[in-house]
Amino acid sequence: MFNALWVAKTGMEAQDFRVSTISNNLANAATTAFKKDLAHFTSLGYTQLRGKGATTETGTTSVGSVYVGHGVQLSDTSKVHSQGSIKDTESDTDFMVGGEGYFVLVDDAGELSYTRDGHFELVEDPAAADSFNLVHVATNLKLVAVNAETGGVSENVGNTAMQLTPPGGATVLGPMTLDRTGEMLMETTSGDVSFATPQFLPLARFGAKDGLVLQPGNIFKDDAARTGGATYYAGRPDAGFGSIRQSVLEVSNVTVIDEMVNMIEAQRSYEMGAKVMSKTDEMMSALIQRT
């Protein structure tokens, strides 16, 4: 009976962790490009009480085996990387990846991060007069760009932040736009023209996205030993990397109704575990009173 108490305890702990995971999903239901989490569980070990061919108390030979399980434990958590739906924002500095790719971000130390959250703001570059960076609002990291199309898949795009410098003598009429080739342009009296240094938005892709390391601010770090390393593409939309759309954002892939159903299921399982502990306690009390 002590084993029954332990097994019920492990089941309750598992459902408690499952509810925590569901709670985090629900809390981020409105977070841009958030990918929901799944908790995975596995059984604990078994004790063999009797094996096949063993002699029973009556002197006969056992045909079957007898095992008793020791409960459940957390195996791991994983991200569901399915595409979220589209939300129009009408902001020229909002972008969305349609497909497998990730935006590439860089910090002041040159370390790269990756995100599906394309909510950026245009911020003046303190190190270069009349130039601007696209800064990731949630983390204050800068969007990486390259000054030419990569011409195909590349293993490195460097760690240079996008630097948007208006072309000399241009009169700005309207906002910047994203060309279908992935190049940032600005609207002037001469029409859409390239910035002083052409800037293309690259996308990153990973062989195993579950190897990405979660970070605050809805970004990821690359653990190359688990992802296989990043590859990059800048230029026309590629089937393997996806395409970038402007003035829209990707919505979280959390479905509130599904999460509520999962939470009710976890709650009921937790209650069953509590009842098992209560009944086991009653059985132990009755046994002790009779001995």
Whether residue 6 is found in the same domain as residue 97: no
Domain limits at 36? Answer: 2-81+255-289
- Asked if 259 and 215 sit in the same domain, the reply is no
- pLDDT at residue 57 in the model: 65
Same domain, 185 and 54: no
Q: Give yes or no for residue 62 having a pLDDT over 80.
A: no
Instruction: Round to whole Å and give the CA distance between 81 and 238.
Output: 19
Question: Do residues 236 and 259 both lie within one domain?
Answer: no
For residue 235, pLDDT beyond 60: yes
**pTM of the full predicted structure?**
0.85
Half-sphere exposure of residue 253: CA atoms within 13 angstroms, side-chain side: 13
pLDDT at position 236, please? 74
With a cut of 80, say whether residue 112 has pLDDT above it. Answer: yes
Same domain as 148, residue 266: no
Q: Which of 246, 269, 271 minimizes the C-alpha distance to 184? A: 246
Mean pLDDT of the chain: 88
Q: Are 179 and 193 in contact (CB under 8 A)?
A: no
| Count of domains for the chain | 2
Asked if residue 282 has pLDDT above 90, the reply is: no
The whole-number pLDDT of residue 139 equals: 96
Residue 45 pLDDT class (50, 70, 90 cuts): confident
DSSP string, the chain: -HHHHHHHHHHHHHHHHHHHHHHHHHHTTTSTT---EEEEEEE--EEEEE-TT-B-TTSPBP-S-EEEE--EEEEEEEE--PPP-EEE---TTBEEEESS-BEEEE-TT--EEEES--BEEEEE-TTSTT-EEEEETTT-PEEB-BSS--SS-BS---SPBP-B-PPTTPPEEEEEEE-TTSBEEEEETTEEEE-SS--B-EEEEES-GGGPEEETTTEEE--HHHH--EEEEESS-BTTTBEEEESEEEPP---HHHHHHHHHHHHHHHHHHHHHHHHHHHHHHHHHHT-
- Both 30 and 144 in a single domain? no
Same domain, 41 and 65: yes
pLDDT tens digits, one per residue of 137-166: 999 999 999 988 876 788 888 888 998 888
Over the stretch 241-266, which tens digit does the pLDDT of each residue have?
888 999 999 999 999 999 999 999 99
The confidence band for 228, taking pLDDT boundaries of 50, 70 and 90, is very high
Query: Is 106 in contact with 83 (CB distance < 8 Å)?
Result: no
Same domain, 71 and 198: no
Please report, rounded to a whole number, the percentage of residues in the chain having pLDDT higher than 90: 55
Q: What is the DSSP string of 2-15?
A: HHHHHHHHHHHHHH
- Reported as a pLDDT band with limits 50, 70 and 90, residue 181 is confident
Note whether 208 and 272 are same-domain residues: no
Q: How confident is the model over 23-37, as pLDDT tens digits? A: 999 999 999 999 999
Strand partners, 40: 76
Compute the distance between CA of residue 280 and CA of residue 152 in angstroms, rounded to an integer. 65
Does 75 lie in the same domain as 23? yes
Query: Which string of DSSP letters, residue by residue, matches 141-191?
Result: PEEB-BSS--SS-BS---SPBP-B-PPTTPPEEEEEEE-TTSBEEEEETTE
Comparing 193 with 216, which gets the higher pLDDT?
A: 216
Q: Please say if the pLDDT value at position 4 is more than 80.
A: yes
Indicate if 112 and 237 belong to the same structural domain.
yes
- Residue 115 has a pLDDT of 97
> Residue 232's pLDDT is what?
92
Check residue 141 and give its pLDDT.
Answer: 96
User: What is the pLDDT at residue 281?
Assistant: 80
Residue 65 pLDDT exceeds 90 = no
The verdict on 233 and 283 lying in the same domain is: no
